[in-house]
Structure 1
Amino acid sequence: MARTRAFDHDTVLAAAIEQFWSSSYRGSSTEDLCATANLSRSSLYNTFGSKRALYLEALLSYIAGKRRARGELLDRELTGRELTHAVGAAVLDEQWTDPGRRACLALAACIEVGQQDPEITTVLETNAADFDAVLALAIRRGQQDGTIRDDLPAEATARAVHAAFDGLQVRSRVATDRASVEADLDAVIALL
């Protein structure tokens, strides 16, 4: 008779997200993951199969949470400019309220994994495209409501704004003053 699991899958997944987010994929040993999730090595492998499989599931879970949060922003009654700013402000707020001032886990994965794992790369590309689509929607909304210049191609502008938001996250890792990074966000939005 098979033993029932003595742990909650979502709790273990949340612990794994924290471990990978704090220490990266390569920087997280199986022992680290077992300690963080309070699991034995055999339970970890029996449940997730491998460290890589756990990383992939953790990334997918993290990204799903971000997608839900972006959907909630889209539901707000904001002009296109306000929505674009709100998306950037949400990214920075999460980072600045985090004790380690960690940048987005997906951004960190893009830097660490890059093109080395085709399945993870596809997940990251899809996430980036989803984020770009939210920004393009906000920009088109702004072009329609008159709060964003209408001579800008929405999709290309969304990718540029996304890149700027990523850069602001990198800068936030070392910046000593949140107000200066928020002023930089305002400057990005002013370009629109």
Structure 2
Amino acid sequence: MGRPKQFDPDVAVGKAMDVFWRKGYAATTPQDLVDELGIGKGSLYNAFGSKHALFERALERYRDTQSLALVELLDQPGPVRPLLRSAMELLIETDLGPSGRRGCFAVNTATELGGRDEVSTGLVQRMFERTEGAFREAVERGQRTGEFAPDRDADAAASLLLATLVGMRVIARAQGGRERLGRIVDAALAAL
């Protein structure tokens, strides 16, 4: 009798994230996951418990990598406005890049499962809150350095930037178009 195939759960979560991101939660079947991960259904369920539990882990992985990258970019020294532009342009390149127009995994999850799946909705909310918090800190830093008006409501500016970011990611997925997305970035930064 052969030994069961060994696999790295961390690698499996990354591969599962790609499947869920590409297809969405509902359209991803357990067989899709088994095929992508190269393991049996029994191993899938023994390691992760359920399709939904694996989805949660994938969404957490996305949150930890994508949100952290944005926060780190905005935390760099230097003028804030160019950092905000770089962050938004990086997301444009990500959304229109070689992996195809699959949008933002969190935004996709919000539109597919928001309000119907408490756990997934909570994960997305916390990701949006982290992103909005990073924007707020950047705006406040820009106010301290004189880049932005000191009487500007930093919370409102951060909410505007988050809404802009989410909207851009939906537009990128549906239509693409660097020129249109660039105009959106220009308008959002001009509002600061």
> Normalising by structure 1, what TM-score?
0.92
Answering whether residue 53 of structure 2 is matched by residue 66 of structure 1, we say no
Aligned pairs for 1:1-192 (under 5 A) are 6-175=6-175, 177-192=177-192
User: What amino acid does structure 2 have at the position aligned with 1:126?
Assistant: R
Q: CA deviation at 1:4?
A: 7.1
Kept after mapping to 2: 8 A contact 1:136/1:155: yes
Q: CA deviation at 1:176?
A: 5.1
Query: What's the secondary structure of 1:55's corresponding residue?
Result: helix
Kept after mapping to 2: 8 A contact 1:80/1:143: no
Kept after mapping to 2: 8 A contact 1:140/1:154: yes
User: What amino acid does structure 2 have at the position aligned with 1:163?
Assistant: A
Distance (whole Å) between structure 2 residues aligned to residue 33 and residue 86 of structure 1:
34
* Corresponding residue pairs, total: 190
Percent identity between matched residues is 30
Distance (whole Å) between structure 1 residues aligned to residue 167 and residue 191 of structure 2:
16
Q: CA deviation at 1:99?
A: 3.2
What's the C-alpha RMSD, in Å, of the aligned pairs? Answer: 1.6
> Normalising by structure 2, what TM-score?
0.92
Unaligned ranges ≥5, structure 2: none
Q: CA deviation at 1:5?
A: 6.0
Kept after mapping to 1: 8 A contact 2:107/2:169: no
Q: CA deviation at 1:32?
A: 0.6
Unaligned ranges ≥5, structure 1: none
Deviations 1:95-143 (A, max 9, x none): 1214321211011111111111222222111111100000001111111
